[in-house]
Amino acid sequence: MIKKSAFVLILLAAAAAASTASFAPQDKIDVTGSWEVKFETPMGERTYKAVFVQEGEIVKVIMKSEQGTEMKSEGTLKGSDIAWTVVVTGPMGEIPLAFKGKVEGETISGTVAIADNGDAEFKAKRVK
């Protein structure tokens, strides 16, 4: 028969182990590296090459269009939520692209607001 004090100690140890496990830090997400970003526009599918450099919750972004135009920006990564905005300059002037998505392993998916043309879904995958 287990003594009452020993039983209480076992319960306390089990509770401490359970609470430590539930508050253990999660693996930090790191998006640093090269990514391929694709989305549909009114003029067809667009593919951009993106390089992210993460410094804490700040993400520095360099995106290149299919034509080689380079855009630099800064965004945020909070938990698995990522957001950044770049401005494309073309014959129709400047068009902001505001990306908001979720990082899931080697992919990012979400929406991109294309100036006044509404939102489109985007998908990105890490390039190895």
pLDDT (tens digit per residue) in 51-61: 999 999 999 99
Residues of the chain with pLDDT under 50: 6-25
pLDDT of residue 33: 97
pLDDT of residue 23: 43
Cβ–Cβ under 8 Å, residues 39 and 112:
yes
Phi/psi at 32 (5° precision): -55, 130
According to DSSP H, which parts of 23-100 are helical? none
What is the set of domains in the chain, with CATH numbers?
33-126 (2.40.128.120)
Q: What predicted TM-score, i.e. pTM, was given to this entire model?
A: 0.77
Could you give the CA distance from residue 57 to residue 75 in angstroms, rounded to a whole number?
Answer: 8
pLDDT of residue 11: 41
pLDDT of residue 4: 57
Q: Kindly tell me the number of DSSP H helices and DSSP E strands found in the chain.
A: 1, 8
